Structure 1
Amino acid sequence: MPVHDSNFGRELRRRRESAGLSQRQLGEELANLAWDHLNVRVGVDGNLVSRWERGVALPRPPYPELLSRLFQATVEDLGLRPGLPPQPTTGRTDDVGLFESTMMIVDRMRRAGSSNVSDTTLDRLERMTVDMVSEYERLGPLVLAPRLIEQRQWVERLFDDRQTLRQRARLHRIAGRLSGLLGSLAVDRGALSTARAYCDEAYQLADLADDDELRAWVRATQALTEYYAGEYADCLSLAMSGLEYSRGGAQQARLLVQGQARAAGKIGDLHMVKAAIERAQGLARPNPPGTVSPCLALDGYCQARIDGNAATALLSAGDLTGSRRAAFAALGPFDAAEMTGPRSLTRIDIALTYLSEDDPDRAADLVVEALSISASRPIATVAIRTGQFLDAGRRFLSTPAMRDLAELAADQQNPAHPALPGG
């Protein structure tokens, strides 16, 4: 017979059946949640769920929390009162056998504090990840990808053993950064399906770490992926989602100019482009002279980064004067820092403004410079933008400068990584 108020039992059964779960399956879901979110093993099964639904027993911690997570409801919504459930009167006067032994509790405490990774090791992994971000543009995909993959696989093996909850959250953050970096490298190589998969994994890890700034960082890379796929509405949506997570954090400027402004430029919304750029300008982070913040900056964008992305966004929206002004402002710092990708892409942006003013020779010379700068480290985005330049200048292909450029671009084309649609 039921010994507890049956409101909870009825509500639990209703929610379980609405979710299409058997009592056994509900037990398995709770056990999985306990391991994923609390890093503990629990012994819930279909029999225990049946006892709850019949009112024979009420769930003790951690089950109320797990049920709330599973059904996205408060304990009150489930018909439970906060705190421990009342116990039936049994007439028992001693507690022998009622509780676990002291040694079992002590052993569980020991295992909860055990870990296969030290805090010092996690510190080093985090430092290595920051260094990878800093070296991203200098080393490029062919050098960096194998290193990142090796590090990501090593981190993954650590998850197979035990860590404290705090250490496991740090591991999730480290793994999320590494997967996000691999996603960005895949964009550089034009492998957008692979980039999406890596970024989805990175976002899942950000969720597991419950880290909004990491979510925002991943959203920025996802937005860039869709930008180069020509999916500008998706790019804008992902950038706006990232801004919700960043809420004034380090990723806000990147999301505004690389995501929102560039997507808005492609859909022709000049007002949104300028508003996003203006907001980003106020968020520029100081950078030492002769350096530029990484394109995947963890600490925010410097002024040169904002200017470089603003140039691309304004160009797409048709503001040639504003685009050229921003591009030249970015070009000096990019050249001083010897950044291959930004130096090439900014020259192509400037070239497109000259092309729009019917100055193909001057424009073609700049694109030749861009291709020469990136010749030793081909970048898919440079190839994409060169193709777009040639398409835009098709009416000038009879000029010697444009013909020479077309031949150079054909010579440098990597057949394994053709130019992507959009830009």
Structure 2
Amino acid sequence: MNGRVTAGGLRAARAARGWSQSQAARELAALAHLSGAPVAGAASLKTLLSRWENGHAVPEPQYRALLGELYGRTPAELGIAGPPADPEAAGASARFRAALAAAGAIDEAALDLWREQLHVATRLDDELGATGAGELVRALVERLDETVRHTIAPARRAAVAAVLAPAAILAGAQELDRCRPDLAWLRYHLARAAAIEAELPETAADAVAGQAGVLVDVGEATAAVTLLDSAEPAIPRATRSRLAGARADAAAALGDAAAARRAISAAAPAEQLPADAVQPPVAIELADLDRWHGHALTVLGDPAAARPLRRALAAPPRSVRHRAAVHADLALALAAEQPDDAAAHARAARELAERIGSARTEARLTAFRTQVAPHTP
């Protein structure tokens, strides 16, 4: 059927029973009462029957079933089959139910597999960046995001979100490497929401810092400061070191040396930490603190940047992304007074950037070439 009512079908079926419209309405009401189906009263049913028989309306599904039972015919035979099902709507409903079922089937074993995937992806990213781990990270983030959005039980949602948050942060860093700030922003936004869902304040702080970094990269350092100001109250004081590092970056980009130094001080500078400390609170490592400190000073044009940057470079093995960034900063920091050393660091940064596909580091090295150009024979 195409959804149009065939007026003769209902009228012919009623006539075959020898009923008036009033009697047919009473019979339909009685049948509904026996089956427990909610319908209008007999008087209203008579009006509805008239509309249905005249082709002015199509009965609702519950009435189509009752009329079929009343007359012993199918709705199609009565001409009241209604509009055809929307295949697209039916497919969407089926896909949604399938997504709910897939999310509902996730157990601790599946979560362990995702945690292992994240561990492998992180190790690959440490050595190869997006070049070696980009597709793995992207697929993992998309699958985890799909699962979180279709998981109903709060505890299970939080467990999945706890894996999604760091995975999305890793994806954000990879998008920044590729100079895709729009996609990096979305990844960090997703990470922040997942970290809040999982009640992981340290990870939420890392995601906010990532967003601030995106803003600084596109020349919106003032917006980055606003973002950090608005996010800070929701982050426990003991977990704000990462925000302080991002604040130093934004302040340096604005040329505010005093604010940058205050932020680095708030991030617990390496000089103030015990010599035997493995890592400061909130899992912020000494090399990270030195890198933030050195980067801020480099942006400010302070030659003192070399000292923390050299410490960051001498730290135990770090990711290629970390080392490339430090080499690039050292190239800039040493360009004026130690051009040979600066050139060596620039070469190292470029080699590492090529290894991980970091167009972002390559862009920073463009600034180095600009600085050394006047000294080139």
Q: What does residue range 126-141 of structure 1 map to in structure 2 within 5 Å?
A: 126=115, 128-129=117-118, 132-133=121-122, 135-141=124-130
Once residues 170 and 156 of structure 2 are traced to their aligned partners in structure 1, the CA distance between those partners, rounded to angstroms, is 21
For the pair shown, the structure with the greater C-alpha radius of gyration is: 2
How much has 1:209 moved relative to structure 2? 4.7
Alignment equivalent of 1:386, drawn from 344, 347, 365: 365
Deviations 1:17-48 (Å, cap 9, x if unpaired)? xxxxxxxxxxxxxxxxxxxxxxxxxxxxxxxx
- Conservation of the 8 A alpha-carbon contact between 2:208 and 2:228: yes
Matched residue, 2:311: 329
Q: What does residue range 313-328 of structure 1 map to in structure 2 within 5 Å?
A: 313-321=296-304, 323-328=305-310
**SS of structure 1 residue aligned to 2:335:** helix
Structure 1 residues 177 and 341: alpha-carbon distance in aligned structure 2, compared to 1, 3 A threshold = closer
Once residues 183 and 192 of structure 1 are traced to their aligned partners in structure 2, the CA distance between those partners, rounded to angstroms, is 9
Structure 1 residues 161 and 288: alpha-carbon distance in aligned structure 2, compared to 1, 3 A threshold = farther
- Corresponding letter in the other structure for 1:328: R
- Corresponding letter in the other structure for 1:384: A
Once residues 253 and 285 of structure 1 are traced to their aligned partners in structure 2, the CA distance between those partners, rounded to angstroms, is 13
TM-score by length of 1: 0.57
Deviations 1:167-196 (Å, cap 9, x if unpaired)? 122223333333332222111111111112
**SS of structure 2 residue aligned to 1:343:** helix
Alignment equivalent of 2:243, drawn from 255, 277, 288: 255
How much has 1:271 moved relative to structure 2? 1.5
Structure 1 residues 347 and 156: alpha-carbon distance in aligned structure 2, compared to 1, 3 A threshold = closer
Matched residue, 1:304: 287
Q: CA RMSD in A?
A: 3.4
Once residues 369 and 209 of structure 1 are traced to their aligned partners in structure 2, the CA distance between those partners, rounded to angstroms, is 39
Q: What does residue range 49-68 of structure 1 map to in structure 2 within 5 Å?
A: none
Once residues 338 and 189 of structure 1 are traced to their aligned partners in structure 2, the CA distance between those partners, rounded to angstroms, is 20
Q: Which has the higher helix share?
A: 2
- Conservation of the 8 A alpha-carbon contact between 1:189 and 1:380: yes
Which range is displaced more, 143-152 or 175-184? 175-184
Work out whether 1:270 is the aligned partner of 2:257.
yes
What residue ranges of structure 2 are gaps of 5+ in the alignment?
A: 1-102
Work out whether 1:237 is the aligned partner of 2:220.
no
How much has 1:320 moved relative to structure 2? 1.3
Work out whether 1:354 is the aligned partner of 2:334.
yes
Structure 1 residues 128 and 383: alpha-carbon distance in aligned structure 2, compared to 1, 3 A threshold = same
How much has 1:222 moved relative to structure 2? 0.6
Matched residue, 1:16: none
Structure 1 residues 361 and 207: alpha-carbon distance in aligned structure 2, compared to 1, 3 A threshold = closer
Structure 1 residues 231 and 298: alpha-carbon distance in aligned structure 2, compared to 1, 3 A threshold = farther
Alignment equivalent of 2:142, drawn from 142, 146, 153: 153
Alignment equivalent of 2:176, drawn from 171, 178, 187: 187
Once residues 139 and 364 of structure 1 are traced to their aligned partners in structure 2, the CA distance between those partners, rounded to angstroms, is 23
Once residues 307 and 162 of structure 1 are traced to their aligned partners in structure 2, the CA distance between those partners, rounded to angstroms, is 41
Structure 1 residues 313 and 159: alpha-carbon distance in aligned structure 2, compared to 1, 3 A threshold = closer
Matched residue, 1:36: none
**SS of structure 1 residue aligned to 2:283:** coil
**SS of structure 1 residue aligned to 2:267:** helix
Matched residue, 1:369: 348
**SS of structure 1 residue aligned to 2:159:** helix
Deviations 1:325-379 (Å, cap 9, x if unpaired)? 111111211xx4163233232223223233233x434422331232234443331
- Conservation of the 8 A alpha-carbon contact between 2:257 and 2:300: yes
Once residues 167 and 348 of structure 2 are traced to their aligned partners in structure 1, the CA distance between those partners, rounded to angstroms, is 33
- Conservation of the 8 A alpha-carbon contact between 1:215 and 1:245: no
Which range is displaced more, 222-231 or 156-165? 156-165
Matched residue, 2:132: 143
**SS of structure 2 residue aligned to 1:356:** coil
- Conservation of the 8 A alpha-carbon contact between 1:261 and 1:277: yes
How much has 1:263 moved relative to structure 2? 1.1
**SS of structure 2 residue aligned to 1:393:** helix
Structure 1 residues 213 and 344: alpha-carbon distance in aligned structure 2, compared to 1, 3 A threshold = closer
Structure 1 residues 287 and 145: alpha-carbon distance in aligned structure 2, compared to 1, 3 A threshold = farther
- Conservation of the 8 A alpha-carbon contact between 2:325 and 2:361: yes
Matched residue, 2:90: none
TM-score by length of 2: 0.63
